Structures are given as structure tokens and as C-alpha cells.
């Protein structure tokens, strides 16, 4: 994987109007791109499935923000206790917690909760439309 600059500004109206086209162009130019988010944070964009899989299983890369080499404004503004969740964990902690919650997210379990989730969603959305606009 060799990083290159993206051929277009990644986070712009093109991405919003045609995400598939933007990602196709990125994939054709190179599978890996270094760019920045709208707030200026540096990010790597990996566009091919095989490369994403390789990155996700590479022990040299980490989701744990304690391993990040960022400074200043790019550090998380959340307290570490709130920022330490399943999506920001590396194995073996991620694996252990994923096993604990996996049964709650089986297709059958989610389907059994569909009506209640829909009712809750409708209730919350209706409550927001009833609020006066300021």
C-alpha cells in the first residue's frame, strides 16, 4: 500500500452527491490516501476491501486512542472513561467484550425487538416535531 494524495477534495459536495463515484476514483488512483477531515484532523482512507481487511488485522495498527501519536486538537475531547468503548478497543479486550454482547445482536434477537425499536423511534421523532422551533 503506497499512500498518495486524493485526486479530489475528499470531504466536499462531490462525496455527498456521488459517494460511489468518488470512492471509485480514489480506488483507481491508489488504494490508500492521506487526507484531512473538515476540521483538519489527518486521516487515512483505504478504499479496497482486501487492504481494509489487512489494516484491520495488522497488529501494528491500533484503534485504542492510548496508542495514538496525535497532539493538540486532534486528541479526543471525551474523558478516557467514556472514550474507551468497543469500537476503540484492540484485541484481546475487544474480542472479550464482543463475545459478551454478540448474542444480543443476532438476526433473530434484533428481529424480535423490531416492533419495540420502531415504536420507540417513532415516539422520539414525534416528540421532536412537537417541540417549538427557536
Residues 50 and 9 in one domain: yes
Whether 69 maps to a domain, the answer reads no
Give CA–CA dist 3/56, Å, rounded.
Answer: 17
Contact 40, 73 (CB under 8 A): yes
Name the pTM for this structure: 0.56
How many other CB atoms are found less than 10 A from the CB of residue 112? 10
| Pair 4, 49 in one domain | yes
Helix (H) or strand (E) holding 45: strand 42-46
What per-residue confidence (pLDDT) applies to 2?
A: 47
47 and 6 belong to one structural domain: yes
Among 26, 94, 39, which residue's Cα sits nearest to residue 70? Answer: 39
Cell output for 123: 415516539
Contact 6, 33 (CB under 8 A): yes
16: how many CB neighbours lie within 10 A of its CB? 9
- The predicted pLDDT at position 52 comes to 93
Q: Cell numbers for 53, please give them.
A: 481487511
Total count of domains within the chain: 2
**Is residue 52 in a domain?**
yes
pLDDT at residue 11 in the model:
79
Give me the tens of pLDDT residue by residue for the chain, a chain 134 residues long: 445 444 445 778 888 899 999 889 889 988 898 888 887 777 889 999 999 999 988 988 888 877 776 655 555 667 777 878 888 889 899 999 999 999 899 999 999 999 999 999 999 999 988 666 55
Q: Is 82 part of a structural domain of the chain?
A: no
Amino acid at each position: 500500500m503506497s499512500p498518495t494524495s486524493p485526486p479530489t477534495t475528499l470531504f466536499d459536495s462531490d462525496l455527498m452527491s456521488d459517494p460511489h463515484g468518488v470512492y471509485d476514483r480514489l480506488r483507481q488512483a491508489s488504494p490508500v490516501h492521506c487526507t484531512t477531515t473538515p476540521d483538519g484532523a489527518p486521516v487515512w482512507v483505504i478504499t479496497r476491501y482486501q487492504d481494509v481487511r489487512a489494516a484491520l488485522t495488522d497488529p501494528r495498527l491500533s484503534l485504542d486512542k492510548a496508542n495514538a501519536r496525535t497532539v493538540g486538537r486532534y486528541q479526543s475531547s471525551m474523558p478516557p472513561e467514556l472514550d474507551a468503548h468497543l469500537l476503540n478497543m484492540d484485541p484481546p479486550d475487544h474480542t472479550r467484550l464482543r463475545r459478551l454482547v454478540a448474542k444480543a445482536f443476532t438476526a433473530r434477537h434484533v428481529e424480535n425487538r423490531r416492533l419495540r425499536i420502531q415504536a420507540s423511534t417513532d415516539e422520539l421523532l414525534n416528540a421532536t416535531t412537537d417541540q417549538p422551533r427557536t
